[in-house]
Structure 1
Amino acid sequence: MKFVAFERAKQGTGASRRLRITGKTPGIVYGGDGQPQLIELDHNALWHALKKEAFHSSILDMELNGQTSKVLLRDVQYHPFKQLVQHVDFQRVDARTRLQNKVPVHYVKADESEAVKLDHCVVNHVISELEISCLPSDLPEFIEIDLSGLKKGQSLHLAEVKLPKGVNAVTRGKKNPVLVSVVAPAAEEAPAEAAAAPAPEAKKGKGKK
């Protein structure tokens, strides 16, 4: 994806406020061999781009002063209640340096699994995005995970998923987190809970006078 940025000469709260009034969004691009550079973008174009999943997880082509460079979106600051982007951060990408980035996870074919098709279980997506490490050329737009093999009572862990070539998962805390869990139908859980509950005490009959 490609977007156009312009040099921003002035900085500070007042200058940024005046930019937003004119339909521009202040930002910054940093990293790589160059110095951090102040930029501004057309707000409406940026707003529509941010609605696309790929803009958040793909390497972007940023055109600035007639030159194009590779960058990643690193941070977006939104107004608390207005449809307004207040600031954006981009990081330059070096083709020879591994990067870390979060990418969305797309789960497919759950309806074809034994758990759903035969046992009518509910499939819960525990993780919706995955942090990965790879070279820029290997960065996937998203990771697709096939759930057609799910069975009742089964959970899918990260170690069971084959990641794209050159891509490693970055886990913090749990080494092998659960990605998907399978929950039995509510109709099956209800009788089990009823059986485990104590039987109600019989009401004592009233004695004859």
Structure 2
Amino acid sequence: MTDFTIAAHPREENGRRPSRRLRRTGMVPAVLYGDGKAARSLSIEARLLRKLLPDERAYTHIITLRFPHGNETALIRDIQMHPYKEEVLHLDFLRVHAGERVRLHVPIHLLNEGTCAGIKAGGVLHRALVEVEVEAPVDRLPEAIEVDIAALCIGESLHLSQISAPAGVTLVPLLHEDDKEIVSIHNPRTGAEAEEETPEATA
């Protein structure tokens, strides 16, 4: 799905019981807030969300909510899922406009795992971060932060300060001098090594 426009319907009733009734009709309750405007209750067809949400890009791209009397542009801010079903219970949308700088968590994609020097040498990959908070103009939010690990060797790691973010994108943890580790390659412990480190039992 490449068109991030979705039909939205005004919702008059709020609360648990009206929300349950709404879900039984195939609709999902949601709220739209931000940009200095009053919060707006709405609902979206569950079948449309099942098409939209599997696309990872939907979480970092502007979504146009098409109401019967005008459109709103927003980002998905939060999704409440059913505890054990693949079912969306509620969504939060944040109003945005072109040029506005926003903060959002985006996934970290590791590149060249298959040719990583440390993995080819028998090392074990450890992922310390799977996503990172970024700040960027809303129309330049990256779909993901890509990290090339081809040259990473056993005993080495990569931190946020060692990667290049896309132009105009700031890695928020670095603003707070929090240079998080992204990934590292560990030397696997063999059974023989483990036995050598175990003190011998005394008689």
Give me the TM-score of the superposition, normalised by structure 1: 0.86
Pairwise CA distance, 1:185: 2.7
Q: Percent identity?
A: 30
Which residues in structure 2 correspond to 1:1-209 (within 5 Å)? 1-65=4-68, 67-117=70-120, 119-171=121-173, 175-187=178-190, 190-201=191-202
Q: Is the 8 A contact 1:49 1:55 kept in 2?
A: yes
Which is higher, the Rg of structure 1 or of structure 2?
1
Q: Is the 8 A contact 1:152 1:182 kept in 2?
A: yes
Pairwise CA distance, 1:178: 0.6
| Closer, same or farther: CA 125–19 of 1 in aligned 2, 3 Å | same
Question: 4+ runs of 1 displaced by more than 4 Å?
Answer: none
Separation of aligned partners in 1, 2:53 and 2:24: 20
Q: Is the 8 A contact 1:109 1:146 kept in 2?
A: yes
1:205 counterpart residue number: none
Pairwise CA distance, 1:67: 3.1
How many correspondences in the alignment?
199
- One-letter amino acid of the counterpart of residue 120, structure 1: G
- One-letter amino acid of the counterpart of residue 84, structure 2: F
Structure 1 stretches lacking a partner, 5+ long: 203-209
Give me the TM-score of the superposition, normalised by structure 2: 0.88
Q: Is the 8 A contact 1:110 1:150 kept in 2?
A: no
Aligned CA-pair RMSD: 2.0
Separation of aligned partners in 1, 2:25 and 2:36: 32
Q: Is the 8 A contact 2:6 2:66 kept in 1?
A: yes
Separation of aligned partners in 1, 2:37 and 2:199: 71
